[in-house]
Amino acid sequence: MLEDRDYMRQPAYYEPRLSATVSLLIVNAIVFIAQLVSWHQGSGDFQDQYFALSLAGLESGYVWQLLTFQFMHAGWLHIFFNSVVIFFFGRAVEQAIGARKFLMLYFTSGIMGGLVQMLLALAIPTFDGAVVGASAGAAGLIGAFSVMHWEERFTLFIYFFPVNLRGKTLLWGSIAVALISMAFPNNVANAAHLGGIITGAWLTRWIIRGGFSWPSLRHEPREYASTRPRKKLWGSAIPPEEDLSADDFLKSEVDPILDKISAHGIQSLTTREREILERARSKMTKR
């Protein structure tokens, strides 16, 4: 029976813990403070040479720069804006896929973003220069969030202005901004942003579906598609869950969520899926 399952009897997902997202922010802050101390002591050139990402560094065999540059920042505003993105998008992504996969996605997006930036610098010398910042990994989180909420509407605050959009709009808009910005060389590693966004989106599809595929309206992840309003082939709406019988509700709405818990753990559930489980538990206790 549904109520016999541990995760239906107690809300284990409310257990307090230090999330990977918060831990990542703390590490970034500690490294930034260390940078400030290093600059104050006059050893800023040393850290840029060995830990910031650059073509010269990779050519010298400093491959660790692909990881270390993600913890470094160029100033207070730089780390502030990256931290805001990581905090808001990272929490949602970590909640959906778990801490281990979250960190894998974040750092892989950062590495791939750094490689894309270095390839561009190799092809166009004007883009050459040391790269620092968590923005490539943060961009990967934006790509991941966009795929997870492909058709869902949400409100995003852009420079304190609320904008209502869907995940697919956020993804394509972010890619467009990165491409357009690359046409105007500046101190921002826009190619790294582009590489991070695309990597985050593709990795999320791989995590959800077990194989690589690009997001499309016809191929939504089962876990997320099951929680959205659905339409039949000819456009007539399938009855909402309130109109379903208890058995149909469990089969169409709850069973896919239970499969997801079995495969990825209860921490992978979205807010919508948790609400469905709570309603299912309430229905079962009323029987």
- Domains annotated for the chain, with CATH where assigned, are 19-209 (1.20.1540.10), 221-286 (no CATH)
| pLDDT value at 68 more than 90 | yes
pLDDT at residue 213 is higher than 90 = no
Q: What confidence category does residue 125 fall into, taking pLDDT thresholds of 50, 70 and 90? A: confident
Residue scoring higher pLDDT (261 or 91) = 91
Higher-scoring residue by pLDDT: 4, 101: 101
3-state secondary structure of 56: helix
Q: Averaged over 250-271, what is the pLDDT?
A: 68
Tell whether the model's pLDDT for residue 215 goes beyond 70. no
Q: Over 70: is that where the pLDDT of 217 sits? A: no
- The reported pTM is 0.70
Mean pLDDT of 160-170: 84
H helices of 52-166, in order, are: 55-59, 65-68, 76-97, 99-123, 135-148
Per-residue confidence (pLDDT) for residue 208, from 0 to 100: 73
pLDDT of 14 higher than 60? no
Residue 143 pLDDT > 90: yes
CB burial of residue 113 (10 Å; 0-12, 13-18, 19+): buried
Amino acid 45: pLDDT: 78
